[in-house]
Amino acid sequence: MDSPHLTTAAALPSPSPSESSSDTVTVPSATVGAGAAADLEGFRIPIPGLEAFYIPEFVTAEEEEYLLRKVDSAPKAKWRTLNGRRLQVWGGELSPSNALIVQPLPPWLTEYPDVVPRIGRTGIFDGTWLKMPNHVIVNEYLPGQGIFAHKDGPAYYPTVATLTLQGHAVMHYHAPLSSTPAHSLLLEPRSLVITTGELYTEYSHSIDAAEKDDFAAVELQNLALLSAEWRETAERGETVERQKRVSLTCRVVERTRKALATYARPKTNAPE
């Protein structure tokens, strides 16, 4: 796959919560790969033995608004319902043998905003031939909705990058065979969370079906990486009402197949 979008610079926000949000670390296209991966170190979530990264303000407020508009204006047929919540699948469908029957991702994921190549520039998908996600699931959660503990399975390269829009979530990670969360992360609007390695392959993840989150009752592993406002809210142990949340789960399916061109039957006068 060629990477026409890598000419745009990716701005990663400062890993230090004490710096103002205007202090950004710019990752020009020339540093995509090893350089970008090194920059990612500052966003590492301190969970011993496990690999996860949290980047607040991965998209701007304007980009968030545009993405939400695009999600909302998708054709009705694009929406499906699963366990009460709505979702859209972009990039194609998985075949029974877990190959992706490829459909191009829409420009609102690849051009403006360049979410998909921007994720690629973090370096997290450098171990794949694609270098950036080719499959995106949009999930919409209304207050009171969550997602059961599950693993993402072997169809995907074992790394997932999830962008959170509009509302927050608390994501729990469960060790094998345990229903009690081992680790929890606050996903604030416009943030990107990346999980990889054992956290992807061995742990399951879930979001409680709740109307509000009580930060006095949860220990957040990414507290130090949160933007100041959310960090203070969590530190004060406040309870925060859920808003509608839209998430973009971005992954790579390495086994791909081209969609077969639709066969247009030639017009004839022959009987059917």
Q: Which residues bind ligand AKG (CB under 6 A)?
A: 137, 139, 147, 152, 162, 205, 247, 249
CB of 269 to ligand AKG, least distance (A): 50
- Point out the residue whose Cβ comes nearest to ligand AKG: 247
CB of 254 to ligand AKG, least distance (A): 18
Nearest to ligand AKG of 39, 57 (CB atom): 57
What are the residues facing 258 on neighbouring strands? 102
Q: What sign results for the dihedral spanned by CA atoms 212, 47, 152, 72?
A: positive
What are the residues facing 102 on neighbouring strands? 92, 258
Nearest to ligand AKG of 159, 162 (CB atom): 162
Q: How far is CA 125 from the centre of its chain?
A: 13
d(CA 124, CA 122): 6
Characterize the bridge pairing of strands 100-102 and 256-258.
parallel
187: its two tokens: 């996903």
CB of 56 to ligand AKG, least distance (A): 15
Nearest to ligand AKG of 122, 139 (CB atom): 139
CB of 34 to ligand AKG, least distance (A): 28
With helix as H, strand as E and coil as C, how does 195-232 read?
A: EECHHHHCCEEEECCCCEEEHHHCCECCHHHCCHHHHH
> Which of 258, 250, 88, 254 is CA-nearest to residue 155?
254
Nearest to ligand AKG of 117, 146 (CB atom): 146
DSSP 170: E
Nearest to ligand AKG of 147, 253 (CB atom): 147
189: its two tokens: 């609007």
Nearest to ligand AKG of 27, 246 (CB atom): 246
Q: What sign results for the dihedral spanned by CA atoms 224, 44, 18, 116?
A: negative
